[in-house]
Amino acid sequence: MASAATQAEPRVVLSARGLGRDFAGFTAVNNVDLDVEHARIHALIGPNGAGKTTVFNLLTKFLQPTRGRITLLGQDITATAPDKVARLGLVRSFQISAVFPHLTVRENVKVALQRPAGLATQFWLPLSSLDRLNARADDLIEQLGLAPYRDHRAADLSYGRKRVLEIATTLALDPEVLLLDEPMAGMGQEDVRMVAEIIRDVARSRAVLMVEHNLNVVADICDHVTVLQRGEIIARGDYATVSADPRVRTAYMGSEA
Amino acid sequence: MAGRSDPIPTETVAAHPQAGRIQLALVVLALVALLIVPHVLYPIFLMKLLCFALFASAFNLLLGYTGLLSFGHAAFFGGAAYFTAHAVKEWGWPPEAGVALGVAGAALLGLVMGAIAIRRQGIYFAMITLALAQMFFFFCLQARFTHGEDGIQSVPRGHLFGVIDLSQTMNMYYFVLAVFLIGLLVIWRFVNSPFGMILKSIRENEQRAISLGYSVARYKLGAFVMSAALAGLAGGVKALVFQFATLTDVAWQMSGEVILMTLLGGIGTLFGPIVGAGLVVSLQNYLATSDFPVTIITGVVFMICVLLFRRGLVGEFFATKIGRKLGFRAQS
Ligand SMILES: Nc1ncnc2c1ncn2[C@@H]1O[C@H](COP(=O)(O)OP(=O)(O)OP(=O)(O)O)[C@@H](O)[C@H]1O
Ligand SMILES: [Mg+2]
């Protein structure tokens, strides 16, 4: 079932053509074509080791593709550095939760806010000059239900809350395209529901590409599904189409629903 | 090696409600002691100590707060000593201008060396900084203005701002003390600034910092140049204190010594490198008048300390109950 915010004209913001990556002779990703649209949630699914995270690494340029081209908002980013890609509006989260462990929840979010606010290079100003980011940071923290932990160090949070914090930090950049690598892994039912709701909400005004193993969530909130197996796309379409595909059923047999 | 120290102890000891005041009192006490101490101990020894304490603190800015282990900091320390000595002696510059030139020269050297080394990780970074510093050493050995093995001798201390006669030992001491304190303030501000926050986040999780759009290499380079400049400040002032600049200060052993001081005292704390420098300089001074082989003894002391106190002396103290009660905390 598609989300409510899918009425607008589809507009491709991120696309890959013939994307591929080899590791010392082993082809981890091959011939991947992908179109991610504004205001849509696109799921990338597939069994373990299919190459989903590698595709994320290629799209965000953390890995250099061996083959293919990537376009972000009409600009070719095939040879762009990863930090530049982030500044262009494509921001990712990591499969293994990536927070700044010894910073507090609020500081984690503020680090993301510093650069867009032009408050990242001043080595002569006191830390209190960052106080004007507090309101925006606290908004995000509140929105993601982290308010009670605002002053806790990230390292002390539960696994699920670290993931939520990572999403908050990512949202702080207000990116045009959001790449989430298993954002709900390790979360309880409650949190999964909350995060699904948040993702649906933020996707009203931006594109989301997510890797997700929880197929209920995929069925629930994703507009498009692309299925990857051994580095290649074996099916694409909406959830109903994809889940009826015999190749997908074979690929998932024994492991998932 | 010591890129990352142990995680902070899990059992949290709440800081004493008066911790801030106690810390302030300790700082004031230390300041008073620094003002009085030249009347008790040899001022030359104290000035040497302050120069090395500043040098180690500058080094710690890189190792402790940026996570980069440079093995070439002698180039900045010794290079600045040459620049300052040359400007003051040959060109007749006033001492403050000579020191400023030393700082600028060290910063420039840092920019060049940093730009080459900064994208390397871990041991490769250390090796490249060492190689570049060795190149600079051979340049100093060959260059005309450094006077080879002799070094630049009998450098005049001159008059600070044209009025304060630095050939008076006490005047010189208070000048060195002022420079030292200014250097520490710069470091403190640098670490506790918006820039310092980004540095910290890079140290904690570099991949994440990149994914938030930070060009990590530039921030590291910024820290490298600042560290080089402050090492140069220490080196320039040292040239004035001892009134000479020689190859000893640009040699690789000097790079090793500053690592030793910093690790001994404790990386990632403001006071660790100061304590470490104090210890090493005192030990060297003491052993110099005895028959003991200096390098072997310092080496053994270093080994023992590193094995017993992994966080360094100050780091270990901060981790004790008393340290935590006083609200001290090392950088992770
Ligand atoms: N840097 C690398 N060097 C060598 N091989 C790699 C590298 N990164 C990934 N691979 C290989 O590429 C394949 C795809 O891995 P990837 O992590 O992209 O899978 P995934 O679909 O994200 O799996 P999971 O569901 O377990 O997260 C795996 O066989 C993996 O071993
Ligand atoms: Mg993965």
Query: Which residues make beta-bridge pairs with A91?
Result: A178
Q: What is the pLDDT of residues A6-40, one digit of tens each?
A: 455 679 999 999 999 999 989 999 999 999 999 99
Q: What is the mean pLDDT of residues A234-252?
A: 85
Of the partner residues B190, B197, B204, the one whose CB lies closest to the CB of residue A130: B197
Query: Which residues make beta-bridge pairs with A23?
Result: A26
Query: Which residues make beta-bridge pairs with A12?
Result: A37
Distance from CA of B223 to the nearest CA of A (A): 10
Q: What residue in B sits closest to A126 (Cα-Cα)?
A: B193
Q: What is the mean pLDDT of residues B78-94?
A: 91
CB contact under 8 Å between B208 and A94, yes or no, is yes
Of the partner residues B189, B208, B213, the one whose CB lies closest to the CB of residue A100: B208
Most confident of A155-159, A186-190, B223-227: B223-227
**Domain edges within chain B:** 13-325
CB contact under 8 Å between B194 and A99, yes or no, is no
Report d(CA B23, CA B34) in Å as an integer. 17
Q: Does the Cβ of A95 fall within 6 Å of ligand 1?
A: yes
Rounded to the nearest 5°, which phi and psi values hold at A149? Answer: -110, 10
Q: What is the dihedral of CA B226, B61, B239, B185, to 10 degrees?
A: 80
Residues of A in contact with B190 (CB under 8 A): 123
**Which has more confidence, B152 or B133?**
B133
Q: Which pLDDT value is given to residue A211?
A: 94
Of the partner residues A83, A99, A115, the one whose CB lies closest to the CB of residue B216: A83
Q: What is the pLDDT of residues B10-68, one digit of tens each?
A: 445 566 777 778 878 888 888 888 887 777 778 888 999 999 999 999 999 998 888 88
CB contact under 8 Å between B211 and A101, yes or no, is no
Q: Residue B322: pLDDT above 80?
A: no
Query: Which residues make beta-bridge pairs with A45?
Result: A227
- Residue A4: pLDDT band with limits 50, 70, 90: very low
Pocket test for ligand 1, best of A21, A27, A44, A52 (most atoms within 8 A of CB): A52
Of the partner residues A98, A101, A124, the one whose CB lies closest to the CB of residue B193: A124
Among B236, B249, B247, B250, smallest CA distance to B89 is for B236
Q: Residue B286: pLDDT above 90?
A: no
Least confident among A117-126, A167-176, A203-212, B28-37: B28-37
Q: Residue B2: pLDDT above 90?
A: no
pTM above 0.80, yes or no: yes
Query: Residue A118 has which token pair?
Result: 């032009």
The CATH code of the domain at B13-325 is 1.10.3470
DSSP state of A73: T
Q: How far is the CA of A182 from the centre of ligand 2 (A)?
A: 8
Q: Residue A235: pLDDT above 80?
A: yes
Report d(CA B40, CA B42) in Å as an integer. 7
Q: Residue B3: pLDDT above 50?
A: no
Q: Are A181 and A52 in contact (CB under 8 A)?
A: yes
Of the partner residues B197, B200, B211, the one whose CB lies closest to the CB of residue A86: B211
Pairing of strands A12-23, A67-72: antiparallel
**Which has more confidence, B166 or A172?**
A172
Query: Residue A145 has which token pair?
Result: 């239900």
SS3 assignment, position B306:
helix
Q: Residue A156: pLDDT above 50?
A: yes
The residue contributing the CA closest to ligand 1 atom 25 is A48
Q: Which pLDDT value is given to residue B36?
A: 78
Which residue has 């020689």 as its token pair? Answer: B246
The residue contributing the CA closest to ligand 1 atom 23 is A49
Q: Which pLDDT value is given to residue B9?
A: 42
Q: What percentage of chain A carries pLDDT values higher than 90?
A: 68
Query: Which residues make beta-bridge pairs with A67?
Result: A20
CA distances from B64 to A79, B118, B198, B210, B331 (A): 34, 16, 14, 20, 7
Q: How far is the CA of A181 from the centre of ligand 2 (A)?
A: 7
Which residue has 């981790």 as its token pair? Answer: B319
Report d(CA A142, CA A149) in Å as an integer. 10
Q: Is B204 on the interface with A (CB under 8 A)?
A: yes
Residues of B in contact with A92 (CB under 8 A): 211
Q: Does the Cβ of A53 fall within 6 Å of ligand 1?
A: yes
Q: What residue in A sits closest to B205 (Cα-Cα)?
A: A100
Q: Which pLDDT value is given to residue A78?
A: 94
Least confident among A104-118, A180-194, B152-166: B152-166
Q: Which pLDDT value is given to residue B256?
A: 84
Q: Which pLDDT value is given to residue A243?
A: 85
Q: Which pLDDT value is given to residue A253?
A: 61
For residue B229, the one-letter residue type is A
Please, what is the Cα angle at B179 between B174 and B184, to 5 degrees?
125
- The domains found in chain A, sorted by start residue, are 10-89+176-249 (3.40.50.300), 93-174 (3.40.50.300)
Cβ burial, residue B60 (10 Å; 0-12/13-18/19+): buried
- Residue B329: pLDDT band with limits 50, 70, 90: low
Q: Are A153 and B329 in contact (CB under 8 A)?
A: no
Q: Is B190 on the interface with A (CB under 8 A)?
A: yes
Residues of A in contact with B194 (CB under 8 A): 114, 119-123, 125, 127, 129-130
Query: Residue B332 has which token pair?
Result: 């992770």
Q: How far is the CA of A42 from the centre of ligand 1 (A)?
A: 20
Q: Which pLDDT value is given to residue A88?
A: 95
Query: Residue B181 has which token pair?
Result: 């304190």
Q: Is B197 on the interface with A (CB under 8 A)?
A: yes
Which residue has 């420079």 as its token pair? Answer: B179
How far, in whole angstroms, is CA A82 from its chain's centroid? Answer: 15
CB contact under 8 Å between A127 and B7, yes or no, is no
Q: Residue B115: pLDDT above 50?
A: yes
Q: What is the pLDDT of residues A66-88, one digit of tens each?
A: 999 999 999 999 999 999 999 99
Q: What is the mean pLDDT of residues B2-6?
A: 40
SS3 assignment, position B278:
helix
Least confident among A91-100, A171-180, B242-251, B317-326: B317-326
Q: Which pLDDT value is given to residue B58?
A: 94
Query: Residue A167 has which token pair?
Result: 């999403």
Q: Which pLDDT value is given to residue B105?
A: 95
SS3 assignment, position A147:
helix
Q: What percentage of chain A carries pLDDT values higher than 70?
A: 95
Pocket test for ligand 1, best of A53, A64, A179, A181 (most atoms within 8 A of CB): A53
Q: What is the pLDDT of residues B175-228, one digit of tens each?
A: 999 999 999 999 999 999 999 999 999 999 999 999 999 999 999 999 999 999
Report d(CA A3, CA A203) in Å as an integer. 9
Residues of B in contact with A106 (CB under 8 A): none
Distance from CA of B113 to the nearest CA of A (A): 21
Q: Which pLDDT value is given to residue B331?
A: 60
Q: Residue A3: pLDDT above 60?
A: no
Q: Which pLDDT value is given to residue B38?
A: 78
Q: What percentage of chain B carries pLDDT values higher than 90?
A: 40
Query: Which residues make beta-bridge pairs with A71?
Result: A15, A76
Query: Which residues make beta-bridge pairs with B141?
Result: none
Please, what is the Cα angle at B199 between A64 and B209, to 5 degrees?
35
- Residue A254: pLDDT band with limits 50, 70, 90: very low
Rounded to the nearest 5°, which phi and psi values hold at A225? Answer: -130, 135
Q: Which pLDDT value is given to residue B13?
A: 56
Contacts 24+ apart (CB under 8 A), B115-120: B115/B221, B117/B70, B117/B224, B118/B68, B118/B217, B118/B220, B118/B221, B118/B224, B119/B217
Q: Which pLDDT value is given to residue A189?
A: 85
Report d(CA B248, CA B286) in Å as an integer. 19
Residues of B in contact with A119 (CB under 8 A): 194
The residue contributing the CA closest to ligand 1 atom 8 is A54
